[in-house]
């Protein structure tokens, strides 16, 4: 299967390499294919492809959004709304506002009555968005190793088939998955990023992940 990763930051590069390791045909998308990080990724991943956002969105049968939260809608427009039609889109983004955290608590530009993924789902109604990978640091996105066993990835989205596929991918990537329901659940899943970052921002502790314990 062809995967188009929209984003060449650390998350885009980590997920692009992870999908390659799992045997997918991968293109990593950027506005600038001559950027040093992109060239370095291409040298280290010779079977991976790189391309502009639109080329990448066209290429991918499955898409991953890994762009800065404030610019994600801009990136989707650059990628071409028509290139998302009917596709499963894993949304790893967070709506982090460009202001200083307060005592380690990041600021969001969304409220608790809305979320970035709801905005994206409205922007591209035909795409099948699934929130995933947003509530953990990039170092643990692929094959995380914790003494407490596999951590839990909280996902949500409106399309059951899309969530089943993402759940299977997450199992291959070393995760347990909890489906939290429809797109509105992104209002709860996106802020997990704020919680995840607090120990890092306060105490420089970044090596953790969430796990849901059930009776």
Ligand X SMILES: NC(=O)c1ccc[n+]([C@@H]2O[C@H](COP(=O)([O-])OP(=O)(O)OC[C@H]3O[C@@H](n4cnc5c(N)ncnc54)[C@H](OP(=O)(O)O)[C@@H]3O)[C@@H](O)[C@H]2O)c1
Point out which residues bind ligand X (CB under 6 A).
Answer: 7-12, 30-32, 35, 66-69, 71, 74-75, 78, 92-94, 96, 133-134, 137-138
Q: How far is the CB of 79 from ligand X (least distance, A)?
A: 9
Q: How far is the CB of 47 from ligand X (least distance, A)?
A: 20
Q: How far is the CB of 215 from ligand X (least distance, A)?
A: 29
Q: How far is Cα of residue 68 from the mean position of the Cα atoms in its chain?
A: 10
Residue given tokens 């170092």 in the structure block = 139
**Nearest residue to the partner ligand X, using Cβ:** 9
For residue 123, which of 166, 80, 155 has the smallest C-alpha distance?
80
Nearer to ligand X, 88 or 92 (CB): 92
Q: What CA–CA distance (Å, rounded) separates 208 from 174? A: 15
Nearer to ligand X, 12 or 157 (CB): 12
Q: How far is the CB of 93 from ligand X (least distance, A)?
A: 3
Dihedral sign computed on CA atoms, order 152, 90, 42, 8: negative
Q: How far is the CB of 52 from ligand X (least distance, A)?
A: 9
Q: What CA–CA distance (Å, rounded) separates 185 from 131? A: 9
Q: How far is Cα of residue 72 from the mean position of the Cα atoms in its chain?
A: 11
**Residue 128 phi, psi (nearest 5):** -110, 85
Nearer to ligand X, 84 or 133 (CB): 133
- Token pair, residue 150, equals 């596999």
Nearer to ligand X, 137 or 150 (CB): 137
Nearer to ligand X, 31 or 119 (CB): 31
Nearer to ligand X, 4 or 137 (CB): 137
Q: How far is the CB of 125 from ligand X (least distance, A)?
A: 21
Burial class (CB within 10 angstroms; exposed 0-12, middle 13-18, buried 19+) of 101? middle
**Residue 45 phi, psi (nearest 5):** -130, 70
């Amino acid at each position: 299967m062809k995967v188009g990763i929209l984003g060449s930051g650390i998350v885009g590069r980590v997920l692009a390499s992870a999908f390659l390791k799992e045997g997918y045909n991968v293109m990593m998308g950027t506005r600038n294919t001559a950027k040093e990080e992109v060239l370095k990724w291409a040298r280290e991943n010779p079977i991976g492809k790189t391309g502009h956002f639109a080329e990448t969105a066209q290429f991918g049968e499955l898409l991953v959004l890994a762009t800065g939260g404030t610019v994600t809608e801009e990136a989707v427009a650059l990628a071409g709304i028509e290139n998302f039609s009917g596709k499963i889109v894993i949304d790893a983004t967070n709506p982090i506002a460009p202001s200083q955290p307060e005592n380690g608590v990041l600021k969001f530009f969304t409220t608790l009555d809305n979320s970035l993924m709801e905005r994206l789902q409205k922007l591209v109604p035909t795409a099948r968005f699934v929130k995933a990978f947003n509530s953990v640091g990039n170092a643990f996105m692929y094959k995380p190793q914790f003494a407490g066993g596999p951590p839990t990835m909280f996902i949500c989205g409106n399309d059951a088939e899309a969530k089943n596929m993402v759940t299977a991918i997450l199992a291959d990537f070393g995760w347990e998955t909890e489906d939290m329901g429809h797109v509105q659940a992104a209002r709860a899943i996106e802020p997990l990023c704020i919680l995840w970052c607090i120990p890092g921002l306060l105490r420089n502790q970044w090596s953790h992940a969430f796990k849901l314990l059930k009776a």
